[in-house]
Structure 1
Amino acid sequence: MKDMLQSPTRRQLLSMIGKTAGATAMYQAMTTLGFASESSFKQGMDLSGAPAGASIIILGAGLAGLTAAYELRKAGYSVKVLEYQNRGGGRSWSVNGGESYTELGGETVTCDFEEGNYLNGGPWRLPSHHYAVMSYCKKFGVAMEPFIQDNSRAYLHRTNHFNGVPQRLGDVQSDVRGYVSELLSKAVNVGSLDRSVNTEDKEMLLEGLKGWGVLDKDYRYLRSHETGTYRGFSVYPGGGLMPDAKPSKPIPLDSLLNSGMWADLSNFTIENHQPTMFQPVGGMGKIGDAFTRECRDMITLNAKVTKIEQDDTGVTVQYVDSNGGGNEAKTVRADWCICTIPLTILTQMDINVSAPMKQAMAAVPYDTSFKVGLEFKRRFWEEDEWIYGGVTYTDMPITQISYPSQNMFKDGTGVLLGGYGFGETSYKFNALTPQQRIDAALAYGKHIHPQYPKEFKAGTSVVWHRIPWTLGCYGIWSASSREQYYDTLCSIDNRIVLAGEHCSHIPAWQEGAILSGLDTANRLHKRAKAV
């Protein structure tokens, strides 16, 4: 019987291996540079014995600053926090229905969602091994619910493949597993692995591949009732005299290889995206709200820092009202200063730190990122397509669509993350007006969900390079820049020390900010006691 599986060409196979190896290399690089690291947090901090009358000024009421403030006050320090915005929490931020903000350039971004609907402008999911943020959420009473990252009913989409029709993620995963199993079984049967496995191991490997890849008796991945139990059916099993079940048809190997969808599968296997993931009930901003509530009496809001000056005995900070309440400068002085202001802002400010510190501050660029939230009249992804949570990936500029993990089966409106990307595609969205971003997300998204035009209700967006208080999304480190500048950036420069996600090995995650705040508080406490 003729083999129904077309063997991949050498070019296709090398391409497949390259994409797979590329994904692995990317993950290894991310781990090396701190993007995919497990948290080092083991237990809470218990500082005590602050020098009598010792004071600390903290610049920025994000999670790094508020973590340090919370712990240092417990140790006995007099702590004051200055925050540019009219709220605490920093990038732990949800844009809720009825809210608005002004971005760089003067455009007002509105959120006309129904009450209870929101867009997480910054962080949107929490790995279960980010122990510090989980610990504080439990301590501060932030309710959690599961976040679904991997959903086999979501899609992988390529504009120029499969006639633009999105493919179910689970179908692609099953077919990849099946074809890899078949290819490996062929290699075993022709003796290509004789140097690696003995006869007994070969038999066990073949048997394992047959089950794992759902292969037939001849070790072929072909459409069968068995494959249907994994990748699904074109006609599902019924009852009575309903039609017989028909297994769905696997995607041909060459089509799968040429589409490049293999590369997208790594989004579901890197450690930070593995189940179980979580999100706060009501939006990620609930974490920032909880930290703010615990530290509220220490925080001065609407305080725009204009100058940071240190001498051998302390630090003086000048600030003005960022809410338009006058330009009269105010000053505050403390023995020590923890500065969590993003480096994109800090490098433009008047601050007298050492030359090596200024070089380190200038050596860390910030990535850009955009998000577009789309509210629809009904949850058509659930009602029409059986998608409950999860993420769809596409090669269109919107990059991905994420389906809400909350309020499933609810009647009425729901919000999709209708676009989320970095790099080149983000620059394009940065250049659009708020309304144009929504229009673009709708225009692209309808190629995956044709219901978009009919069901759309409202939209909002966040483009991080146009957010005045960050001018970027998160600090970017390379292996060489981390080796050259990281220790200096995190060191105590006379009376000033920096903290934030940019001063961590887990940049772009709230865990990195909190761990930086904890470490900075601990080191500064030791220094203060030693002076």
Structure 2
Amino acid sequence: MTNIGLIAGIGPMMGAMQALGITGIAHAQDWTPLPANVGAGKSVVVLGAGIAGLTAAYELEQAGFFVTLLEARNRVGGRAWTLRDGDKVEMDGEETQTAHFSDGIYMNAGPARIPSFHQGLLGYARKFGVPMEVEVNASRSAYVMAADGSKVRMRSAINDTRGYIAELLAKAINQGALDQQLTAAEKAKMLPFLKAYGDLQADGTFTGTERSGFGTAPGAGVTFASPGSPVPLDQLLANQQLPLSLFEDNLYMQATMFEPVGGMDRIHAGFDRNLRRPALRGAAVTRIRHTAKGVETVYKDTASGVTATIVADYMVCTIPFPVLAKIDTDFSPALKQAIAAVEYDYSNKVGFEAPRFWERDQIYGGISFVGAPTALVWYPSAGIHSARGMILGCYNSGQMAQAFQQRTVADQIATARGMIDKLHPGHGADLVNPVAINWHKVPYSLGPWPAWNGVGPGPGQEGKIDTPGFRLLQKPDGRVYFATAALSQTPGWQEGGIQSARLQVTAIAARAAAQALVAPRTRRFAAA
């Protein structure tokens, strides 16, 4: 009766998966934790201690499974990599960089923000007592900078453009151009709305707005505020970065955004602290084999070169596909082909330590968009009004990043410095202690996220991903299950890794519970 009850507890999740016709396309949904003892007597080896691997290991342990978590790096977190003073940056084909940062300065080389609707990741932060703070993802004092170096404050780009659009639409209504689309009642309501929306004058014209900043600042006594002159429409439209003034309207970028105090990897360290058996680090997997009743994993200690073998009932593999493709496995030919065919995108970051000159420009966090080849300048949210901070002079992805990473590291740093100096003249000299990260060159990652539909001109991290390879990799190969943000609809976000891991550990728990009905419980775990 106990085992039947365990299966019943997993039923709602499995029903959702079965309704899809396959075992698990990752998708946003509520999740029911696994029954407490469903894994008693069963063992699982989890490969990779990024967010998916940590989630899988933690939830499987909570359900009674005996879990071994192997991680090739000497740290947990995977892409959630926070650099602090003294940390080494090793990239394939490049000389080792060493971070030289002042006390309290750090650089999130990977993810650096968490949307408020990513409740899986935020929930684990709460569970593990990881302090969080608001990440200022957008600042109206930041800039959009055209290719010729002309720049417009974000508040002006947004509000002046809105004013011109409101004026044009009001004129069209008043001239009868929209009589076929609007009823008289709708027109009567639309015109007052447009006046408020664009801050139009009584005659429906746009002459400027204090939303874009003051022409005359308010002061003591009868020193009244007044709006400045709007940026001319042709100048706004000539700015190639103008569409990025809509950046914060993207659901994934909307306030409120969060970040862990002290660096993104604090959440992953929280996972590791709360595992009964923390991750075994420096354990690089070299071989995977199915056995009659489980899975055998051979790994090498990266420090000593000594190999060891783990045998477990099940495996959760979270290794990035470009890395997995190079490991000796006995996966089915179709699965091997699918793994080898996954193309990963490109992404780079270049960070500098600097005195907070941007705060004297009224920029507290947020992003200025500067275009190719570096894409943006990202200002820190943490440590506002402190002496120094970490500013990013580059965060690009897609084809722009593919070209950028072909430059030497020195040239990448010089280019990023030059873009900051172009945006903030004279401050390029303030930028010290640079670090460059090219994710396509990072060992055990070899890319930031998959480009399921090909490397494009933009990041392309979210969307309706549904290719034959994507569907095949959702399914287990024998007792091997694949969990990674790459197999979610948000491969560039940590929440996708959590969703994928939860889906697959639920499938393992259901399988273990079903097998327990027909076979005696035995613990199968060995290490040699």
Q: Is the 8 A contact 2:61 2:276 kept in 1?
A: no
SS of equivalent residue, structure 1 residue 159: coil
**Structure 1: where are the runs of 5+ without partners?**
1-37
Partner of 2:451: 476
Identity over aligned residues, as a percent? 37
Partner of 1:156: 144
Query: Over residues 328-352 of structure 1, what are the superposed CA-to-partner deviations in whole Å (9 max), with x where a residue is unaligned?
Result: 3211111111110000101111111
What's the TM-score, normalizing by structure 1? 0.87
Partner of 1:15: none
Within a 5 Å distance, the mapping from 1:256-275 to structure 2 comes to 256-275=236-255
Match of 2:358 among 359, 381, 386: 381
Match of 1:525 among 496, 504, 509: 509
SS of equivalent residue, structure 1 residue 330: strand
SS of equivalent residue, structure 2 residue 297: strand
User: Structure 1 residue 188: deviation in Å?
Assistant: 0.7
Match of 1:514 among 484, 489, 498: 498
**Structure 2: where are the runs of 5+ without partners?**
1-25, 454-462, 516-528
SS of equivalent residue, structure 1 residue 497: strand
Partner of 1:78: 66
User: Structure 1 residue 296: deviation in Å?
Assistant: 6.5
Partner of 1:401: 377
User: Structure 1 residue 521: deviation in Å?
Assistant: 0.5
1:149 maps to a residue whose letter is N
Q: Is the 8 A contact 2:370 2:419 kept in 1?
A: no
Q: Is the 8 A contact 1:398 1:441 kept in 2?
A: yes
Partner of 1:28: none
Match of 1:53 among 9, 32, 41: 41
Within a 5 Å distance, the mapping from 1:230-309 to structure 2 comes to 230-240=211-221, 245-295=225-275, 297-309=277-289
User: What is the total number of aligned residue pairs between the two structures?
Assistant: 482
Partner of 2:479: 495
Q: Is the 8 A contact 2:484 2:500 kept in 1?
A: yes
2:103 maps to a residue whose letter is E
Partner of 2:420: 445
Distance 1:516 1:102 in 2: 29
Within a 5 Å distance, the mapping from 1:114-513 to structure 2 comes to 114-160=102-148, 164-223=149-208, 227=209, 229-240=210-221, 245-295=225-275, 297-323=277-303, 325-326=304-305, 328-376=306-354, 378-383=355-360, 385-410=361-386, 412-478=387-453, 482-513=466-497
Q: What's the C-alpha RMSD, in Å, of the aligned pairs?
A: 2.0
Distance 2:204 2:401 in 1: 45
User: Structure 1 residue 487: deviation in Å?
Assistant: 2.3
SS of equivalent residue, structure 1 residue 408: coil
Distance 2:372 2:341 in 1: 32
Query: Over residues 268-290 of structure 1, what are the superposed CA-to-partner deviations in whole Å (9 max), with x where a residue is unaligned?
Result: 21100011111111111111211
Distance 1:147 1:42 in 2: 25
Distance 2:169 2:465 in 1: 41
Q: Is the 8 A contact 1:39 1:129 kept in 2?
A: no
What's the TM-score, normalizing by structure 2? 0.87
Q: Is the 8 A contact 2:54 2:268 kept in 1?
A: no
Larger deviation, residues 432-441 vs 446-455: 432-441
**How has the CA–CA distance of structure 1 residues 433 and 113 changed in structure 2, closer, same or farther, with 3 Å as cutoff?**
farther
Q: Is the 8 A contact 2:114 2:257 kept in 1?
A: yes
Distance 1:263 1:457 in 2: 31
**How has the CA–CA distance of structure 1 residues 165 and 258 changed in structure 2, closer, same or farther, with 3 Å as cutoff?**
closer
User: Structure 1 residue 58: deviation in Å?
Assistant: 0.7
| Segments of 4+ moved more than 6 angstroms | none
Distance 1:481 1:364 in 2: 13
User: Structure 1 residue 469: deviation in Å?
Assistant: 0.9
